[in-house]
Amino acid sequence: MASSPCSSSAGEGSGPSSARAIVRRYRPGDAAAVGRLIADTYRTHNLGFAPADEQARLLGPFGFAGSPDPAHREAIARAIAAPLVLVAEVDGVLVGVLRGGRRDRPRRAVLQSLFVDGGYHRRGIGRRLVERFEAACRAGGATQIKVAATAYAIPFYQALGYRRSTGMRTTASFEGSGLPYQPMSRSLV
């Protein structure tokens, strides 16, 4: 895809601990399942610092992930949109999603978010998603990946070779604020 900074034809990666997982491109029909996955994982692993009302603001449209309201579903689909969205499935169930691919510099791609169902942590799902994303970005000419890792995800990204680029910071998420994150990056060359 010429307009996307990351190619979508990169290989899936492999590993014995993730052999049952299929990594593929996101399809519009995945929106409801992806929305629920993001809402559950974000709330469970990243928002424990915030009171309930602030969690609702930080979740934005994902706070309505279980809603049948078409307006809520459309808002979730818009929030998922990114140049490259990958999902991981195990036995037909979506267990992971990675959004990214926009460029903030000519040769640096941004990994915008990664969520893996807590029941599938430490099984290679996140690693496969990131490896596929990195391969796609490398094929699209990127030489560096940047990510704003939540405190929970720092060890995961460090294990993949990402390095802290500054100290911890806070950012906004949808209508909420105060989300702690660690700027990290990895060279692809």
Whether 173 is in a domain gets the answer: yes
Helices (H), ranges, 20-124: 31-46, 52-59, 70-80
- What total number of domains does the chain contain? 1
Asked, for residue 6, whether it belongs to a domain, the answer is no
In a domain, 10, yes or no: no
State how far the Cα of 136 lies from the Cα of 119, in Å rounded to an integer. 27
CATH code of 57's domain: 3.40.630.30
User: So what's the pLDDT on residue 8?
Assistant: 53
* Residues 75/39, Cβ–Cβ less than 8 Å: no
Query: Given 3-state DSSP classes, what are the helix, strand and coil percentages for the chain, each rounded to the nearest 5?
Result: 40, 30, 30
Q: What confidence score (pLDDT) does residue 19 get?
A: 56
Residue 26 lies in a domain: yes
> Does the residue 63 lie in any domain?
yes
CA atoms within 13 A on the CB side of 57: 11
**9 lies in a domain?**
no
Structural domain span for residue 81: 16-187
Establish if 62 belongs to a structural domain. Answer: yes
pLDDT per position in the chain (189 positions), as tens?
334 557 554 444 444 445 589 999 999 999 999 999 999 999 999 999 999 999 999 999 999 999 999 999 999 999 999 999 999 999 999 999 999 999 999 999 999 999 999 999 999 999 999 999 999 999 999 999 999 999 999 999 999 999 999 999 999 999 999 999 999 999 999
Q: Report yes or no on 50 lying in a domain.
A: yes
Partnered with residue 108 across adjacent β-strands are 105, 144
Query: According to the model, what pLDDT value does residue 20 have?
Result: 87
Helix (H) / strand (E) containing 139: helix 125-139
The helix (H) or strand (E) run that includes residue 109 is strand 108-116
